[in-house]
A and B are shown apart, each in its own frame.
Chain A
């Protein structure tokens, strides 16, 4: 099946280098900080040193008087309209007005002739704070008497969700085996290499322009208009090259964006603001730390009968997209295994820490860590084979989950089997030398989602008279390869090359509105829109060519920049000839558009019921580790993963995505964590916020990923997502590998050397004590 598909297409299915790769390798791609405009000023943000305080007074007079300073703004300079991600939880302001709620929150901004002066000016802004009691732990924050962060949120509950599917209590009573475990995960930052940066311009005509590294420029466009109290039509957001996103601040309008344009209004000049990396690591935007209590009931053979999950998420000071995150974690419990009865209760709690939102994997990484770690514990207790238990519970194509997900293609069994084969699982598990182990982990993800707000994508195509194709969408390439894959789709349909397609970066003045790049939606949603736009362009071209050649348009095929009659291949013309003829002779331009909305099913976010995504991806992996018992250090020596991403449109990019997602999970599993003491981030530096390096991944021969190829009918040319699912099973696989290697079960992330060392020590002492008491007994 796989080979057949590949031969059928000219473009899709072929490994294709990234279209903008050469520009980036030349160092010529313009990122936001690379922008320079005549008269441009440089901005800096002043941040709260307190985790919780009232702002009594701000005196910026000395700062404003510093030579070289051109403007200072504070919260009062904005209309006071709150903006945010979800309509019910808009709590962001461009700059704090009366209260600061976490160390690092933005309080004022300065524009000056250079950064040095702007920095000096910050020192001269006198802010009088009245510190308030602060709270950092979610359980403390929920107790009565705890400091209240937001008036409208008693008990500091930011979001609360409760779902129930099936008959949970009844199912538990039937279960042969029940266990519960608690897992804890840590705050994780996006870790992109490019810090947030923007240039803002508010010109004399009232037009506001922002050049910024945004993954979802239209979200920013709307938030800016709302927060500034201006008409959308007066706002223009231009997407620069994005140096890594992974969600977070690049998904939304940030204080720097608001301040850049406001400072520009004051000064009449463009204003650039760039975060330092320690600012990036200090501010909000990170993965929710979670405490997950999971009770699972199964039959004797490990079939999941019921699950009850109680989760507390440390949401930090503001809502961000947290309300949706709470729904999503519960939803993700429903895949990739069959859970007929499920109760899920989650609370997102405000604390005086940096706020949390979406980050690659979005709640799924935490949930899969808990669930797949526990699954092994269950299997071990029941004496069920670790692989069999996965197969036994694997969702199958065509099934519907308890919460209403309709599973289309879902080659989960094949993914599991492929990993067992590639990794040598059967020869290794339980058989490796002491302190060497192998663990299995599974996960899954969605291919885009039907959200409450903007879900649908659209694309426009204009075929030019030189045969090139101008493709515009509102989705962004953030490095993942959307520019190339979307161009490949258009090229395949129109019979041109990938290089013939010009993919434009987003400019809200000229590209179609779009939800943006998140939730693994672009290949699927926007890809479908592009395919439809290309098909319409092809229809128009066939009509023109048909007229010109006197051939029935239905008999025309498009290949290698030509339009050819399938009945007589002597009847042919070049694509560009057809465009010219149409334009010159009949005034018919080839302009098309297409859209995709994944149907009009609605999710009931209160009950959690509904089919969130048009397609789902299963993921399986095995990881082999070597643990040094004398230090607790874990070395990842082998990794084998298999994912069903449908038909991989660009195998080169799919490989980059699945390996990228995988390695991005190594860190949080083993050593990556944001360390906070009383609300202060202790390690806002890449030196101490440790992400994997080249020496932290297995040897290439032992690092393999395989695509289990299926054909998803809903997806463009059968494709599904590839950017997030692959990372979801990795952390559990590592936990399970550490268990196989050492007998120590780590339930708390990161599974850092000190924790493993002391857990091992404790285990040894228990063993010794047990031996002694059994010896004494004899």
Chain B
């Protein structure tokens, strides 16, 4: 039975560039952890769940932080960009609203001023809020090592509980978002007991692209938090909605399909049964909300 302790001993390496970080990762491979914001890592260390001999501090790497519009209309976000910066970035709010929404619900200002988007991904916690939003936005991450760089879609980033596909010598450097099709809107909804600060019991991100001419769902992307061992894309529900009209029965079917794909666990925080019920409600609401943003002039179902 261990109680929260002082941080364990480690050697601190302040990296000044991405290249330097890759070199350090290669040099220390299995005994090193990356410290971006540190709000998760330091806690793990206090619990002695992680005792790395080396910590590479990323706060001093300017190139790792920032939101940049790309030539093709997409967006690149540095992995060490704080949640607060993501949430308040004008282009994120305007064009990738679901990401801003997911970011706004994480903790409180003190946490958001320090925690990073990269950390929220690399931590591979199933309750993380950004992965589902990023999955629905079709985001990809760049993983860089001394040997080169590869790009991995966020939905392929999590092979199993608590892990990403990143190798020990790889640094997650950027999150790339493709431009969002016109007539699209997104919503991220999550449930927790209090109105703020709680860990997500379940979360649903929905991105809807609306076909005004046929008044149907041109495309739907749905992804879930705390509904499986990893952030989960709900493909069955997406397929079900594509081409359908916006109707109560369609939403109901989509909600059931999401439950079919999800695999939430029973823990002392919430039962599997309750999480399924929440998923049903939140899926419908998220799709409704996303559709409303995609086509604001059209009324909702009454």
Question: Knowing A693-B195, A752-B193 touch, does A119 contact B1 (C-beta < 8 A)?
Answer: no
Stretch at the interface among A216-224, A431-439, A629-637: A629-637
Q: Which residue of B lies closest to A680 (CB)?
A: B1
Q: How far is the CB of A254 from chain B (nearest CB, A)?
A: 15
Q: Is B240 an interface residue (CB 8 A)?
A: no
Question: Knowing A630-B281, A675-B268, A754-B270 touch, does A276 contact B4 (C-beta < 8 A)?
Answer: yes
Within 8 A of B (CB), among A584-643: 630-631, 633, 635
CB–CB A631/B281 < 8 A? yes
Stretch at the interface among B28-36, B166-174, B271-279: B271-279
Q: Is B199 an interface residue (CB 8 A)?
A: yes
Q: Is A677 an interface residue (CB 8 A)?
A: yes
Q: Which residue of A lies closest to B270 (CB)?
A: A754
CB–CB A683/B193 < 8 A? no
- What 10 A-B pairs have minimum CB-CB distances, sorted nearest first? A630-B281, A695-B195, A671-B193, A49-B1, A754-B274, A695-B196, A682-B268, A276-B4, A116-B6, A119-B5
Question: Knowing A696-B194, A754-B274 touch, does A688 contact B269 (C-beta < 8 A)?
Answer: yes
Q: Which residue of A lies closest to B8 (CB)?
A: A116
CB–CB A115/B268 < 8 A? no
CB-CB contacts of A666-702 with B at 8 A, as 1s and 0s?
0000110001010000110001101011111000000
CB–CB A693/B194 < 8 A? yes
Q: How far is the CB of A13 from chain B (nearest CB, A)?
A: 37
Q: Is A277 an interface residue (CB 8 A)?
A: yes
A695 to B3, CA, bound (A): 29
Q: Which of A277, A690, A692, A754 contacts B4 (CB 8 A)?
A: A277
CB-CB contacts of B175-201 with A at 8 A, as 1s and 0s?
000000000000000010111111100
> Given known contacts A694-B196, A696-B195, A757-B277, what 4 new A-B pairs fall within 8 Å (CB)?
A630-B277, A630-B285, A683-B268, A690-B193
Within 8 A of A (CB), among B190-234: 191, 193-199
Q: Is A465 an interface residue (CB 8 A)?
A: no
Q: Which of B268, B274, B282 contacts A757 (CB 8 A)?
A: B274
CB-CB contacts of A743-765 with B at 8 A, as 1s and 0s?
00000000011100110010000
Within 8 A of B (CB), among A196-221: none
Q: Which residues of A contact B277 (CB under 8 A)?
A: 630-631, 757, 761
Q: Which of B6, B195, B268, B281 contacts A677 (CB 8 A)?
A: B268
Q: Is A278 an interface residue (CB 8 A)?
A: yes
Question: What are 30 A-to-B residue pairs whose CB atoms are below 8 Å?
Answer: A47-B3, A49-B1, A103-B1, A119-B5, A119-B6, A276-B3, A276-B4, A276-B5, A279-B3, A282-B3, A630-B277, A631-B278, A631-B281, A633-B191, A635-B195, A670-B193, A675-B268, A683-B268, A688-B269, A690-B193, A690-B194, A693-B195, A693-B197, A696-B195, A696-B196, A753-B191, A754-B271, A757-B274, A757-B277, A761-B277
CB–CB A687/B199 < 8 A? yes
CB-CB contacts of A158-188 with B at 8 A, as 1s and 0s?
0000000000000000000000000000000
Q: Is A155 an interface residue (CB 8 A)?
A: no
A695 to B108, CA, bound (A): 11
Pick from B3, B6, B198, B268 the residue with the most CB of A within 10 Å.
B3
Q: How far is the CB of B45 from chain A (nearest CB, A)?
A: 13
A675 to B196, CA, bound (A): 20
A-B CB pair tally, cutoff 8 Å: 68
Q: Is A104 an interface residue (CB 8 A)?
A: yes
Question: Knowing A675-B268, A677-B268 touch, does A278 contact B3 (C-beta < 8 A)?
Answer: yes
Q: Which residues of B contact A677 (CB under 8 A)?
A: 268
CB–CB A753/B196 < 8 A? no
Q: How far is the CB of A162 from chain B (nearest CB, A)?
A: 36
Interface residues of chain B, those whose CB is within 8 Å of chain A, are: 1, 3-6, 191, 193-199, 268-271, 274, 277-278, 280-282, 285
A693 to B274, CA, bound (A): 24
Q: How far is the CB of B136 from chain A (nearest CB, A)?
A: 21
Q: Which residues of B contact A694 (CB under 8 A)?
A: 196
CB-CB contacts of A260-284 with B at 8 A, as 1s and 0s?
0000000000000000111100100
Within 8 A of B (CB), among A275-331: 276-279, 282
Q: Which residues of B contact A675 (CB under 8 A)?
A: 268
Q: Which of A48, A633, A758 contacts B193 (CB 8 A)?
A: A633
CB–CB A671/B194 < 8 A? yes
Pick from B193, B195, B270 the residue with the most CB of A within 10 Å.
B193
Q: Which residue of B lies closest to A279 (CB)?
A: B3
Q: How far is the CB of A762 from chain B (nearest CB, A)?
A: 13
Q: Which of A115, A630, A693, A752 contacts B196 (CB 8 A)?
A: A693
Q: Which residues of A contact B282 (CB under 8 A)?
A: 631
Q: How far is the CB of B236 from chain A (nearest CB, A)?
A: 21
Within 8 A of B (CB), among A88-130: 103-104, 115-116, 119
Q: How far is the CB of B111 from chain A (nearest CB, A)?
A: 11
A405 to B70, CA, bound (A): 77
Q: Which residue of A lies closest to B284 (CB)?
A: A630
Pick from A47, A276, A670, A754 the residue with the most CB of B within 10 Å.
A754
A104 to B278, CA, bound (A): 35
Q: How far is the CB of A695 from chain B (nearest CB, A)?
A: 4
A695 to B196, CA, bound (A): 7
A597 to B285, CA, bound (A): 62
Q: Which residues of B contact A115 (CB under 8 A)?
A: 6
CB–CB A631/B191 < 8 A? yes
CB–CB A690/B198 < 8 A? yes
CB–CB A104/B193 < 8 A? no
Q: Which residues of B contact A753 (CB under 8 A)?
A: 191, 193, 274
Pick from B1, B191, B198, B271 the residue with the most CB of A within 10 Å.
B1
Q: Which residues of A contact B268 (CB under 8 A)?
A: 675, 677, 682-683
Pick from B6, B199, B271 the residue with the most CB of A within 10 Å.
B6
A15 to B197, CA, bound (A): 34
Q: How far is the CB of B103 from chain A (nearest CB, A)?
A: 17
CB–CB A278/B194 < 8 A? no
Q: Which residues of B contact A692 (CB under 8 A)?
A: 194
Q: How far is the CB of A308 from chain B (nearest CB, A)?
A: 35
